[in-house]
Every structure is written in C-alpha cells, then in structure tokens.
Amino acid sequence: MKKILLTLAIALLTALPAQAADLTVSAAASLTDAFNEMKPAFAKDHPDINLVFNFAASGTLLSQMEKGAPVDVFASADQKTMDQAVEKKLIDVPTRANFVQNALVLSVPAGNPAKVKDLTGLAAAQVKRIAIGNPDSVPVGRYTKAALTKLGQWDALSPKFVMAESVRQVLDYLSRGEVDAGFVYATDAKQGGDKVKVIVEVPVETPVIYPIAVVTGSAHAKDAATFVSFVTGPKGQAILAKYGFKKP
C-alpha cells in the first residue's frame, strides 16, 4: 500500500507544472509604466519566466547592485551610470544594448500658476520652487544640470531647486502643484496627463539614450538575455513607443 501511495505521489508531482523562475529587472524609474505593460506580453511568450521589477533612480539601482543585490537585468536612463557599472564589472558587456531615446522637458503644474513661458522665465520672482532630480544619483538631474550650466542659469537658479530622488518624484511634485516648475523626461510628462503641462523641450549636448544589459553573475543569465532581446525586439519596442519613447 505504501509503495502504491508513493508511486501516486511521484506521479502527481511530476504532473504539476514547473514553477516560473523569478527574473529580477532593475530599471530606471521612467520605465515604470512601459515595463509594467511589457510583463503580461512577455509572460505570454515566456510563461516559464516571471518578471520581478525594481524601479528607482539609475544611481540608486547601481548602488544596490554594488552592495550585492540579486539582479539579473539592469536598464539605465543614461550611459554614464551604465559605464560605471562596466567599470565595476557589474554587467556582462557583450549583452549591453541601447534600446530607447527620451527628451528632457521643462514642465509646470496644470494652469501654470507662475506663468512660466520659457527657460529664462525661471529667474522670475514668482518662480520660487523648481524640482529637479539630484544630479549625484538621478540621470535626469545630470541632464538638467548640464543644460542649465551651458545656458549660464545653474548658479542663479540653485537657491530655488527642490532636489528629488527620482524623475517620478519630480513628476509627483508637479502633479500635486507643490513646485512652480520641474525638469522631467518627455515620457514622464506624458504620464502626468492633464495635471502637467510641457513648456519646452530642453536642448542637451548628450542624447538621452537608455542602455540595458545582463548583470554579471546572474543566476538566470539565459532568461535575462531573453528579456533583453524582448525589450530590443519589435514587441518591446512597440510598447515603449506607446509611452512616448523613441528609437535610439
């Protein structure tokens, strides 16, 4: 009898579907909506892989990986952060690929209470709070600092800056009307809907191009490469385009 029960138990376990492997993807905060939409589309093609997303500023994600956080794929909002990951031997270099391009925009809350018309208008007395990403860890902050420095406005505007820990925090400040203006990516401003108005696209010397790569030592390197291929392939690109991202 025991032998029969054991045989039945083994047969039952064998018949059960294999549990999908968790694949951890650390991605820039600005990719939140697009990547979340990719999840069911990716699962349809790869039911054996379960995507687990970790969204934050690219610099924060890099710091987490340095400290040993188990990550399989890294998607950064700028080349500098990915270059730093290369220097620290945190990514598998041959898997690195540029997959989208974005734009830096000056935005204001709905109604534009401070009547900002352009970049020079930020110096006006009625503009008291300007949200920007922290340049030390947030790529959108670095792009902002570089652009304003080139225009000769950085030092003069510095007292008005409200530092944010991600581009999505800047967007939150704008959406709630807690600042008079802010610098975000075009895709984030689009997600702000009618709560956020874009004033102007800000010229940048370095294009806002996002790279993605498999993380060194990933326990699921093959699955990680599969996700990178999905993101850079037609299905992933179509979803990214829907959210306003452009091809690199």
Average pLDDT, stretch 149-173? 97
Neighbour-count burial of 190, counting CB atoms closer than 10 A to its CB (0-12 exposed, 13-18 middle, 19+ buried): middle
pLDDT at 222 over 90: yes
CB count within 10 Å of CB 7 equals 10
What pLDDT score does 112 carry? 97
Work out the percent of the chain whose per-residue pLDDT is above 70.
92
User: Can you tell me the mean pLDDT for 107-129?
Assistant: 97
pLDDT band at 208 (very low <50, low <70, confident <90, very high): very high
pTM: 0.87
Q: Span 72-97, mean pLDDT?
A: 97
| CB of 105 closer than 8 Å to CB of 183 | yes
Classified as helix, coil or strand, 53 is strand
Q: What is the pLDDT of residue 178?
A: 98
Residues 2-55 have pLDDT tens digits of 555 445 444 444 443 456 689 999 999 999 999 999 999 999 999 999 999 999
Residue 21: per-residue pLDDT: 83
Query: What percent of the chain has a predicted confidence (pLDDT) above 90?
Result: 91
Nearest alpha-carbon partner for 54 in 43, 65, 46: 65
* CB neighbours of residue 172 within 10 Å: 17
In this structure, what are the phi and psi dihedrals at residue 181, rounded to the nearest 5 degrees?
-160, 165
CA 187 to chain CA centroid, nearest Å = 10
